Amino acid sequence: MKGRPFGPLPIDAPVPGSSFTDLLESFGLTPKLSIPEGTAVPMVPEGTTVLATRYADGVVMAGDRRATEGHLVAHRRIRKVFPADRTSGIAIAGVAGLAIDMVRLFQVELEHYEKIEGVALSLEGKASFLARLVRNQLPLAFQGLAVVPLFAGYDQIARTGRVFSYDVVGGRYEETDFASTGSGSRLAKSYLRTAYEPDMTADQAAELAVRALVAASQEDTATGGPDLLRGILPNVVRIDASGFEEMDDDVILPIAQNAVETIR
């Protein structure tokens, strides 16, 4: 089955047959994730700070827009918060190239499962699957090319927003209130810890998220604050019972302006 050209349909599939990742593997189409020993790890763009926080009706996720390569800015407008499917989102930190590919695979995986089985995975199931994708990268993580995502979404069964954080070995941890990952995550988390309140509205949660990112950007050079000159604003999304929704720049701009003006 390896290296198949696109001809007749792939009728035979790996068991249990609902996973797109397994399908890719069976065709030998997954990238080889190892670097020969003794070679230097190349300098590659890395994504920095992302966070997720729960509020009354769901979760808000946010990310700054900077990718760094060593001490240099590699990209100013990179996107780190993505929809995973209609009711969940994924945010990434770490090696940008690998992370963005992980997101793409994760998105296809969730939709593939939903179409094959006729019903979407549970939020818990999606979180577990993402842990597997992170663990697949383990050999690379040991060589310094780590990807650590955040996953959050609206749980249709529990009827609440839920937030999951990960570590480089694929450990999955559910957080009660908020989570953050990336170089500025400690700073963002300490801001969130002091300012977080349960039962916020979506707008309050978005404001908290942007302020936490701005706080992180003050101490961590790898985290990009809002760039009002160029009009580069953090990506903020909210996920509630009605699904994933990207928050408009018009809504985020005043919040970002206010956060930048009042920060000390």
Partner 1 sequence: MTIPFYVAPEQLVRDKAEFARKGIARGRSLVAMDYADGVLMIAENPSTALRKISEMYDRIAFAGVGRYNEFETLRKAGIRQADLMGYLYSRDDVTAMGLATAFSQTLGMIFTRDPKPFEVEILITELSPDGGHRLFRISYDGTLYDERQFVAIGGKAERLTEALESLWRPDMTVQEAFAAGEEAFRQAEGRESEGWELAALDANLGRRAFRRIDPAELSTN
- Examine the residue annotation and report whether 181 is marked as an active-site residue of this protein: no
Q: Which two three-digit tokens encode residue 26?
A: 């069976």
Number of residues that bind partner 1 (CB under 8 A): 21
Nearer to partner 1, 164 or 244 (CB): 244
Nearer to partner 1, 23 or 140 (CB): 23
Identify which range of 5-13, 37-45, 129-137, 218-226 contacts partner 1 by CB under 8 A: 5-13
Q: Is residue 104 a contact residue for partner 1 (CB under 8 A)?
A: yes
For the chain, where are the alpha helices, taking DSSP H only?
20-26, 96-117, 123-136, 138-142, 185-195, 202-219, 249-262
Q: Is residue 118 a contact residue for partner 1 (CB under 8 A)?
A: yes
Q: Is residue 25 a contact residue for partner 1 (CB under 8 A)?
A: no
Q: Is residue 193 a contact residue for partner 1 (CB under 8 A)?
A: no
Q: Is residue 6 a contact residue for partner 1 (CB under 8 A)?
A: yes
Closest approach of Cβ 125 to partner 1, in Å?
18
Determine contact, residues 56/200, Cβ cutoff 8 Å.
Answer: yes
Alpha-carbon torsion angle 63, 64, 69, 75, nearest 10: 110
Determine contact, residues 225/252, Cβ cutoff 8 Å.
Answer: no
**If we measure between CA atoms, which residue out of 204, 222, 106, 220 comes closest to residue 164?**
106
Q: Provide the 10 A C-beta neighbour count for residue 112.
A: 15
Q: Provide the 10 A C-beta neighbour count for residue 182.
A: 26
Nearer to partner 1, 32 or 71 (CB): 32
Could you give the CA distance from residue 47 to residue 178 in angstroms, rounded to a whole number? 19
Q: Is residue 33 a contact residue for partner 1 (CB under 8 A)?
A: no
Closest approach of Cβ 112 to partner 1, in Å?
5
Q: Name the site residues for partner 1 (rule: CB under 8 A).
A: 6-11, 13, 17, 20, 23-24, 27, 29, 104-105, 108, 111-112, 115-116, 118
Catalytic residues: 48
